[in-house]
Amino acid sequence: MIELDVRKLLCPLPVIRVQQAIKTLKPGDILCVTATDPGVLHDIPAWCRIHGHRILTTRKLERELQIEIEVQA
Amino acid sequence: MSNSKIHLRASNSNITLPKRKAVALISGGLDSMLATKAILEQNVHVEGLNFFTGFCVEGHTQALRKKDTQKQKRNNALWVAEQLGIKLHIIDIVEEYKSIVINPKYGYGANLNPCLDCKIFMIQKAKEWMLENHFDFIITGEVMGQRPKSQRKHLMPIVAKESGAEDRLVRPLCAKNLPPTLPEQQKWIDREQLFNFSGRNRKPQMNLANTYGFAEYAQPAGGCCFLTNEHYSKKLQDLWTHRGEKLYELDDILLLKVGRHLRPRPHFKLIISREEGENHYLEGYCHQFIHLRPLSHPGPIALLEGEPSAEDLHLAAQIVARFSSRRTEACVTIQIQQGRDDPRTLEVIPLASEAIPEDWYI
């Protein structure tokens, strides 16, 4: 599991960081993103859908959000 | 340039033609959506680019405020890409874009918007992407005569030339008003299926949206860039004036989107949050600034930029107290902290509303 901290960043920066991180990963890797902007709950899944990556879980914690992505080919 | 192939049957023989690839500039608005769709309809592979400059009008930035919670928390460019079924690459151009904002060759529009330079720069970046990724041409949603600064007829060839895109730049919505581009000449796309829109009338675009079955699309009021906003530009100009140099960092321009900005003295300014969402956001910057917050009751966080004297800090505390929930109390306790240093407190009388001159508001 690879961790990506995008707390305090507002969209689209979290999406850009996810895009950059996934470029360095291989199919089957899991990227765990921690964010604070609620917009990520919409934008990161949207970005993953159009690029064919799989959202495994999304979790809302008290002041943080976590999204786990499985990288696809 | 492209390696992918499609098979077409022509004159009773199998001919293998390359499936052409285009890169589209996707803003999230209707025009780039329609332009891309027009090319997708011609069996061209299209992928989108969206550039992050730091000045983008983002629903999320606005959604920091409760009054904006009705707005959809979505990135319109991603949404458009999903509707079109294309990939979208969001490119961070914050650093390179600074020279465009600070020193635009073609100057500014009504505010600090360097629209023509911006258009040239983005198409230049798209061309670089096109070459790196072995694509064939570039699509934009430009419509001749639609924008006073960047989409006038005589400027369109300048944009194509200066960006280096030359005849690989296709503007599907107004292509018939312009000389044929390379993709049209080479029959990669059919010119007859492109359009001749011009002017500020949006009806042709709306009709085309209906034809394509787009029931929903973003219609950003005032464009998609904060630099076209008079109020925002005033704050950026103030920042440059008082720093004595025309430079900025990403945090500077993001903070200009948040809170009330007041400059009570030439050598310091306050950014005061307007509600809880902005409080959370400014909290993330407290370690970099002198910051103030009411201790005796709930109220706004304020960041102070500059070098204040003790007297200035007292005034700043009074202003912050004025924007707290107890603005009518005789005394309010304000905590002042420099970065992560030990905090101290001041007991102050909230400044009366009429004691804040209009020209303190930036």
Give the pLDDT band of residue B164 (cuts 50, 70, 90): very high
pLDDT value, residue B66: 63
A35/A67 Cα distance (integer angstroms): 8
> Taking residues B30-45, what's their average pLDDT?
97
**Contacts of residue B82 in chain A, CB cutoff 8 Å?**
46, 49-50
User: Where does the pLDDT of residue B147 fall: very low under 50, low under 70, confident under 90, or very high at 90 and above?
Assistant: confident
Do the domain assignments include residue B233? Answer: no
pLDDT at A38: 86
- Does residue B250 belong to any structural domain of this protein? no
The beta-strand segments (E) located in chain B are 5-10, 13-18, 21-25, 45-52, 88-92, 137-139, 169-170, 260-265, 268-272, 290-294, 302-306, 332-338, 344-348
B111: pLDDT strictly greater than 90: yes
Task: Please give the structure tokens belonging to residue B263.
Answer: 């400059």
Of the two residues B306 and B66, the one the predictor is more confident about is B306
* CATH number of the domain enclosing B104: 3.40.50.620
Tell me which amino acid residue B344 is. R
Confidence of residue B17 (pLDDT cuts 50, 70, 90): confident
Closest-approach residue (CA) in chain A for B71: A39
pLDDT band for position B10 (50/70/90)?
Answer: very low
- For residue range B244-289, list pLDDT tens digits in order: 999 999 999 999 999 999 999 999 999 999 988 899 889 989 999 9
Distance from C-alpha of B270 to C-alpha of B322, rounded to nearest angstrom:
13
Question: φ, ψ for residue B260 (rounded to 5)?
Answer: -85, 140
Picking from B87, B92, B284, the nearest residue to A50 by CB comes out as B87
A48 catalytic? Reply is no
Residue B3 has a pLDDT of 46
Burial tier of B6 (Cβ tally within 10 Å: 0-12, 13-18, 19+): exposed
Domain count, chain B: 2
Q: Quote the domain boundaries for residue B293.
A: 258-360
| Poorest-pLDDT segment among B56-60, B67-71, B282-286 | B67-71
In-domain check, residue B127 = yes
Alpha carbon distance B106, B146 (integer Å): 18
Domain range summary for chain A, segments of one domain joined by +: 2-70
B311 within a domain of the structure (yes/no): yes
Predicted model pTM: 0.89
> What Å distances lie between residue B103 and A39, B82, B113, B227, B251, CA to CA?
33, 36, 11, 14, 20
Residues B19 and B79 in one domain: yes
Whether residue B243 is contained in a domain is answered as no
What phi-psi label fits residue B84: left (phi over 0), alpha (psi between -120 and 50 degrees) or beta?
Answer: alpha
1.10.3130.10, 3.40.50.1000, 3.30.110.40, 3.40.50.300: CATH of A2-70:
3.30.110.40
Locate B133 and state its tokens: 């990724």
Chain A residues interacting with chain B (CB cutoff of 8 angstroms): 8, 10-13, 15-16, 19, 36-39, 41-43, 46-47, 49-51, 63
**Identity at B87, one-letter amino acid code:** K
Instruction: Select from A5, A6, A13 the residue whose CB has the most chain B CBs within 10 Å, as the one to mutate to test that interface.
Output: A13
Residue B68 included in any domain: yes
Query: Looking at residue B191, what is its pLDDT?
Result: 97
Q: What is the ipTM of this complex?
A: 0.94
In chain A, helix, strand, coil percent, each to 5? 30, 35, 35
> Span B350-360, mean pLDDT?
93
B280 and B220, same structural domain? no
Residue B50: pLDDT over 60: yes
